Amino acid sequence: MSRSRPADLTPVTAGDRVDPAVLAPRSVRRRLLKAALWIAVVVFAWFAVVRIVGRFDWSAVADAFALLHWWMLVPLLALLLARQVLNAVPLALYVPGLRLARSLENDLAANVVGTFAPPPGDIAIRVAQFRSWGVDPVLGMAGVTLNMLTFYAARFFAPVVGIALLAVEGVEHRQWVVALCCGAIATTMLVLLLLLLRSDELAARIGRTAGRAVRSVRSSVDPEQWAQATVRLRAQTADSLRRGLAPALLALVSMIVVDALVLLVSLRAVGVGTAELTVLDVLTAFFLAYPLTLMPLFGLGVLDAVLVGTWTAVAGVEHESSIVAATIVWRVVTLAGPLLMGGATLAWWRLRSRAGTLRTG
């Protein structure tokens, strides 16, 4: 799933003015750093695939691509649209007055800007869009923070869903361990979100504890500032969180299911049938490995290697090239697709904003 860089815990104040010009890199140094990070991610992804899966026959992968038919784009793009709409549901629930279509536009624009521009470009475009739509940017960015926290809970809840599906065939010990650990993390995050509703004192305690934990790896973090920011977050989002948490979590879990279906359709499109991998084989492996999406670019390389290795062990090594081809199709659809959509929506928003400025001027 494509998501922009998590927002800073400290909400934007009503008096803040974020110039959209910060969307462009502020210096050559930042531009070079962004390029270096991209290169590092690509090299790491390649290393992970080669080390975990091993070297495979790229000519056989190309042959698998030849099985793709143009009409397969129809279900793949339909699933991609459903995925992005479900991804936008929580923000629409958490931000009063924000329609689902604009929530989708905001997520897509922030994703494309966050991918190609240095921080805080994604935050700047979110704030600029909120202002252009007449949405309070304070509530908007508070909603972005809640959205991010809810997604983390959903991400760690995925292995629990995988274990529930595996119960049909039997669960290995290590799979239980993964699911229980991830379930504990997801439950902890949901409990902390619910505790935010109870009182300022509990909110401050949560923020202070989190700040101390982060300070162990970043000495510049002040736990008291985190405590104050968490109290402000509670004041701004209590009603939205109380009303929207359950449907937001349901929407994000549904989004993960749709993401898995994109992979399933990709596998079938390159000739990996039910005789080689059942629907259960595909879904359970994806759900159990989903926390790896915490890594850069949605776990690019590492998640792919784990999935290819797992499915090859089930289907047989003779199907490895087809499985690799399917994961590439999935990556193109779920990574490049939202970037193209984000670029289009960003251009359309800028065109409308410019036209509105000319009319009012």
Asked if residues 86 and 251 have their Cβ atoms less than 8 Å apart, the reply is yes
What pLDDT score was predicted for residue 248?
A: 95
Give the count of beta carbons closer than 10 Å to the beta carbon of residue 140.
27
Minimum mean pLDDT range among 64-73, 140-149, 229-238, 273-282 = 229-238
Q: Which of the four pLDDT bands, split at 50, 70 and 90, describes residue 7?
A: very low
What pLDDT score was predicted for residue 55?
A: 60
Match 């305690």 to its residue by tokens.
Answer: 205
AA letter at 276: E
Q: Is 175 helix (H, G, I), strand (E, B) or coil?
A: helix
Q: Is 26 helix (H, G, I), strand (E, B) or coil?
A: coil
Return d(Cα 20, Cα 5) in angstroms, integer.
17
What letter would DSSP give residue 4?
Answer: P
* Whether residue 120 has a cis bond before it, omega within 30° of 0: yes
How far does Cα 205 stand from its chain's mean position?
A: 28
Give the count of beta carbons closer than 10 Å to the beta carbon of residue 262.
25
What pLDDT score was predicted for residue 3?
A: 55
Q: Is 314 helix (H, G, I), strand (E, B) or coil?
A: helix
pTM score: 0.78
